[in-house]
Amino acid sequence: MRLSEEQLTCLHSQGFLVLPDLFSGAEVDALRARLPALFTDGHEGNIVVRESGEVGTSLGLHLRDECFSALRRHPRLVEPALQILGEPAYIQQVKVNVKAAFSGKFGLDLAGRPATLTVRGRCRSKDGKVHTDSRSKLITALIYLNDDWSGGGGQLRLLRSNNIEDVIAEVPPHAGTLICFRNRENAWHGHTSYEGPRRALQLNWVVDDAAARKSERRHGVSAFLKNFSFRSFFAGK
C-alpha cells in the first residue's frame, strides 16, 4: 500500500495524516481478542495502574504474540512508513494502552460524574490569582484557542505553593495546547496579570449534579452541562 501524492501533501502541510478504515472491524476484533490472555500472562511488560490494580499499558506485544508480530510486518503499515521515511526502518515498540484518557491517568473513576464546560474569551487584570480549585472539582482540563501569544502575562503557572513565583511549570496558551490536572489541596495555580483576549475551553469533572448546576448558575451562558456522550468521549469510555 502506497500513499497518494495528495495524502503526502496533506501530511507535509498539516503534520499528520488520517487513514480511515485502514484495518477492518474483523481484523481489529482479532487483535482485541488476544488482549485478555496477554494482560494476565504475568509478563513484565504489563504495567499496572496503582489505584485500580488493572493493567493500563502492555508493552512488547510483537515479541509475545503471533498476531501482533504479524501486525508489525503488515504492508498497510510498513509500506507507508518506508515511503515517508525514505530509508529502512525497524519497529521499536508495539504496545496497547487500555486505560481511559483522564480517569485512567489520574486514577479516578469518572463514570457517571457530571462535567461542565466553560468558554472563556477575555481576561481581566484581576483574574489569575493563585488558588486551588473548590473541593467539588475532580479534574480540570484546559484547551487553549489563541492563535499567537506574545504577551508577558496570562500564562498559566503550576505552583508548589501559593506564591506566584514558586513555579513548577509555565504554560503559554497557544492554540491547541491541552493541560489537565487533578484537584488536590496543594494543586496551586494561577497566572500573572493580563488584560485582553485569552480564549480557552475549560472542562471540569465535578463530584455531583448539584456541583454542576452551581457552576452553570455561576457562569451563566458560558458554562453548561454536557451530556453523557461528551463525558464518555473525554473519559475514554
Q: Averaged over 65-72, what is the pLDDT?
A: 92
Count CB atoms within 10 A of the CB of residue 68: 20
Cβ(96)–Cβ(68) under 8 Å? Answer: no
Q: How confident is the model at residue 151 (pLDDT cuts 50, 70, 90)?
A: low
End-to-end CA distance of the chain: 32
Question: 6-10, 30-34, 212-216: which range is least confident on average?
Answer: 212-216
Q: How far apart are CA 234 and CA 227, in angstroms?
A: 12
Q: What is the pTM of this model?
A: 0.57
What proportion of the chain, given as a percentage, has pLDDT over 90? 50
pLDDT at 213: 83
What is the C-alpha to C-alpha distance for residues 123 and 137, in angstroms, rounded to an integer? 22
Tens digit of each residue's pLDDT (9 = 90 or more) over 9-30: 989 888 888 898 999 999 999 9
Query: Do 77 and 2 meet the contact criterion of CB atoms below 8 Å apart?
Result: no
> What percent of the chain clears pLDDT 70, i.e. is strictly above it?
89
Residue 225, classed as helix, strand or coil, is strand
Q: Are 86 and 80 in contact (CB under 8 A)?
A: no
Better pLDDT: 229 or 123: 123
pLDDT at 51 over 90: no
Is residue 237 scored above 50 in pLDDT? Answer: no
Amino acid at 196: G
Cα 182 to the center of its chain, rounded Å:
13
Q: Measuring CA to CA, how many Å separate 155 from each of 23, 160, 172, 175?
A: 42, 16, 5, 13
Contact 49, 99 (CB under 8 A): yes
**All domains of the chain, ordered by start, with CATH?**
5-99 (no CATH), 105-235 (2.60.120.10)
Encode pLDDT of 129-140 as tens digits. 999 999 999 999
Q: Return the C-alpha cell found at 159.
A: 505552583
The rounded distance, in Å, linking the Cα atoms of 74 and 68 is 10
Instruction: Quote the pLDDT of residue 221.
Output: 44
* Lowest mean pLDDT segment, chosen from 15-29, 103-117, 207-221: 207-221
Query: Which whole-number Å values give the CA distances from 81 to 136, 178, 192, in the listed order?
Result: 46, 28, 44
Burial class (CB in 10 A: 0-12, 13-18, 19+), 78: middle
Closest CA to 182 of 141, 142, 139: 139
Residue 43's pLDDT band, with cuts at 50, 70 and 90, is very high
CA 9 to CA 5: how far, in whole Å? 6
Residue among 197, 141, 204, 149 nearest 173 (CA): 149
Q: Is the pLDDT of residue 88 over 80?
A: yes
Given a contact cutoff of 8 angstroms between Cβ atoms, the answer to whether 135 and 184 are in contact is no
On the CB side of 102, CA atoms within 13 Å amount to 23
User: Which residue matches cell numbers 481484523?
Assistant: 27
